[in-house]
Copies of this chain bind each other. A is one copy, B any other.
């Protein structure tokens, strides 16, 4: 069903082929990322964005960036791989998927015998596995989340955790797409998501492409909808889930969770297990990216005005009704459920 392929290999395999999300919804244009500079710039400027998608793009981009060094001997090749991985991972600190994915590729390299060429081939296979797993993960999240969406459900989402944020059909939006495939009517309310408007630019665009009913609202209007009983559930993605179930996601998620609790609206987080960071005990240890004040001020404020631009916030586990993962729907106590499904995986 996904007409949207946010991240894929280029036809020649020599580049990461992304949709340039800075140009949406005005223009649907793809870009090939061929160097680590290209990749880091694309991630920093949100040409490619969404925790799962930047993980996939980071893994693939690391391989692309290493290709010119395939003739290197083992140690210098691995040394370079580690340096590039660190550089890529540092571009966006909050989403753990990015560092998880590049570390996974480096790890595979370290476990592979031989020099540059052999290691590179193994790394490429690993990056492709991450890509394929991401697609499969989205589909499974959609299926696990399906039971939460009755026919006629009215869903509120924040930012974009759809196809554009993954290599597949999304995380938060995956259950919506699967429900629509099964003939259920679902209406989505999309927070516009200031300051970068991922909701009105990206979520509205991709839902419209898929023929799903979508209504944009200013972030501050969601409370009124919940109060008026017009929202059946909230589903959002995640940039990092701590071991105790605290969730970092796009700024504006935490206030939604507080409001959902007040209005007894289920508040669901949909994310792959790669978003779980068992080394982060709780939300207080998650680094929160701050971005340029200009993203908030735009042309609106007077010259010289100051602004805060906190890109993420942390929702405490107590406000999360359940976490929908590829391994199933995790309920409370979240710390135990998380340990059960994520304890054994690559960390």
Is the beta-carbon distance between A251 and B218 smaller than 8 angstroms? yes
Interface status of A22 (Cβ within 8 A of chain B): no
**A244-259 with Cβ < 8 A to chain B:** 251-252, 254-255, 258-259
State the number of copies, please.
2
The proximity string for A residues 178-209 relative to B, scoring 1 for CB distances below 8 Å and 0 otherwise, is: 00000000000101111101001100110010
Contacts of A310 in B (CB 8 A): 217, 221, 224
Q: Which of A72-80, A297-305, A335-343 contacts B (4 or more CB under 8 A)?
A: A297-305
What is the CA–CA distance of A297 and B208 in the complex, to the nearest angstrom? Answer: 14
The smallest beta-carbon distance between A27 and chain B, in angstroms, is 11
Which residue on B lies nearest to A262, using beta carbons?
B258
Interface size of A as a range: 35 or more
Contacts of A301 in B (CB 8 A): 25, 192, 200-201, 204-205, 216
Which residue on B lies nearest to A197, using beta carbons?
B300
Contacts of A313 in B (CB 8 A): 220-221, 223-224, 227
Which residue on B lies nearest to A226, using beta carbons?
B255
Is the beta-carbon distance between A308 and B217 smaller than 8 angstroms? yes
Interface status of A219 (Cβ within 8 A of chain B): yes
6 contacts between A and B (CB under 8 A): A192-B194, A194-B220, A201-B300, A201-B301, A222-B255, A223-B255
